[in-house]
Amino acid sequence: MYKTANTLPEQIRSRSVALLNRHLAAAIDLHAQVKQAHWNVRGPTFIAIHELFDKIADVVEEYSDKIAERAGTLGGTAEGTVQIAAERSFLEVPAGGGRREGAYRSGDGGAGELR
């Protein structure tokens, strides 16, 4: 832990940083999953779903940044590489492992359906 002006005991800061890093991994994973869907949406309502996923990805990325910065503020190190996120994320793997071509299609009414 780095020195900080924060008055919380080091043990609390250390535990908090560990928890923040766990959630940072999940946020980075979520961002990647949303972008995967964004890149692979198909169908008649493509543009609406495509743009929605882009907006969601932006919001998730902002939260990732806030989580990482909070870890640093507490005197810890934000562990936010893709490799660490893949190893530590507690999110479930999407259907098809997120790798199926055209895994997301838009249907009638603007709602997407997983294949």
pLDDT at 33 over 80: yes
**Alpha carbon distances (Å) from 53 to 49, 110, 113:** 6, 12, 13
Q: Could you tell me the domains of the chain?
A: 10-89 (1.20.1260.10)
Do the Cβ atoms of 5 and 38 come closer than 8 Å? no
pLDDT in tens, 64-100: 999 999 999 999 999 999 999 999 999 998 776 655 4
Do the Cβ atoms of 89 and 28 come closer than 8 Å? yes
pLDDT at 73: 96
The structure's pTM equals 0.81
